[in-house]
Amino acid sequence: MSSSGSSSGPFPVRSGLDELVASPAILRGRRYGLLCHQASVDSRLRPAIDALAICGEGELAALFGPEHGITGEAQDMAPVEHAVDGPTGLPVYSLYGAREETLEPALEALRGLDLLLVDLQDVGTRYYTFAATMGAALRACAKAAIMAVVLDRPNPIGGVTLEGNLVRPGFRSFVGRYPVPVRHGLTMGELARLYNGPYGEGCPLQVIPMAGWRRHQWFDETGLTWVAPSPNMPTLDTAAVYPGSCLIEGTNLSEGRGTTRPFETVGAPWLDPDAYARELSAERLDGVVFRPVRFTPAFHKWAGQSCGGVQIHLVERETFRPFLTGLALVSVARRLSGGRFDWRREPYEFVSDRLAIDLLCGDDGIRLAIESGASLQEIESGWQGDLASFRPLHESVRLY
């Protein structure tokens, strides 16, 4: 992946977790819960649970896990049950069960806590569900009248570039709970400020900022080690293309789950890889090369079947527009499918009365534009007003 530079030193960026452990006064004399996952580690890769135990302040009394669970082993949209953490004996409350009401912490789980720590690594994309989980946690903390403390982490794809439209009323879901662009350019701490203030969740909130992070930095410029925050987010390359290739979830194309390159590989049994790569290249999208491939997913869509498609190679990330690229992947595949392309029609993220692609896009206008044969440029022009209206909010919650 092309980079504009790199940081020097062993740990040039310190996460909010590192900063809290170094100055843990806010925990003193308090019982607290921790919303975390497997990427909630300090700069030496110690899990947050262990790092907090070393700091010696307060009492960690409960754990909360987002989609995929605190260990990150559950696949997408797989319900996770409440459990007990083996090493600590602490209760683990799942915030991604079989019903929509499980997405928000229950008041009984928060009872007896003085505050809730939130330490989740995001990937900078609206549909990635950890930010929605954080928003639900803020809402529950407001109801329980306890403080939420968000430990900030880098936006791995930088905090400068914005792309995409805002979610419209009637299309809100767990992959689009708040009206932010697809690529929102905010950290989790900044999103918490947005959700809690302008968007009205209204709990007592404190954000522990990072030290040393700059908005232009990508994750590989921080000096921190990438830990996959979810099972199909193995690398920064994955996160870089995800704002666009996650749209494939709303179709009958494979988004590469069940391969070693999820979200970077897209295809279906009925696609000709050479024609697909050629037509995508003809769109003249910046910063990306499409290489024709064949692949056989080990699980998920088209498991065990040979698929034709492309691998997305990011060659210049500063000019790359991932959401627009994802729309190209969808529209070109639809055009070449000979009628075999279809939108996903099964329930998606607890919603059954809207198409998954409309939930991901935040309205039905983009799908209708694709179906009508609109150009990518016409579709892209449609969200410029949304970005203009969002920028003042973006600037108002920035910490860096």
Residue pair 252/301 in contact (Cβ under 8 Å)? The answer is yes
CB neighbour burial string for 55-65, b if at least 16 within 10 angstroms, e if fewer = eebbebebbbb
- Separation in Å, CA 274 to CA 167, 259, 294, 309, 334: 35, 20, 10, 8, 15
CB–CB of 121/229 below 8 Å?
yes
**Residue (of 19, 31, 26, 39) closest to 90 by Cα position:** 31
- pLDDT at position 7, please? 42
Can you give the pTM of this predicted structure? 0.95
In the chain the domains, ranked by start, together with CATH numbers, are: 16-221 (3.40.50.12170), 236-363 (3.90.1150.140)
Angle 289-291-292 from CA coordinates, rounded to 5°? 150
pLDDT at 6: 41
Q: Mind listing the pLDDT tens digit for each residue in 235-291?
A: 999 999 999 999 999 999 999 999 999 999 999 999 999 999 999 999 999 999 999
Distance of alpha carbon 274 from alpha carbon 281, whole angstroms: 11
Cα separation of 222 and 240, whole Å? 16
Predicted pLDDT of residue 240: 98
What's the sign of the alpha-carbon dihedral 352, 241, 64, 181?
Answer: negative
Tokens of 42: 């300090």
Residue 11: the pLDDT is 55
pLDDT for residue 12: 87
101 token code pair? 């009401």
Phi, psi for 318 (deg, rounded to 5): -70, -25
Contacts of 354 (CB under 8 A, 6+ apart): 171, 173, 348
Signed CA dihedral, 137, 143, 144, 150: sign only: positive
- In order of 66, 97, 140, 176, 349, the CA distances from 94 in angstroms are 6, 6, 14, 20, 16
**What would the two tokens of residue 298 be?**
């080990």
Residue with tokens 């697909």: 276
Quote the CA–CA distance of 223 and 148 in Å, as a whole number. 28
Q: How far is CA 190 from the centre of its chain?
A: 14
Does residue 276 contact residue 341 with C-beta atoms inside 8 Å? no
Q: For position 300, what pLDDT does the model report?
A: 95
Intervals of the chain under pLDDT 70:
1-11
Q: Look up residue 25 and give its two tokens.
A: 């006064």
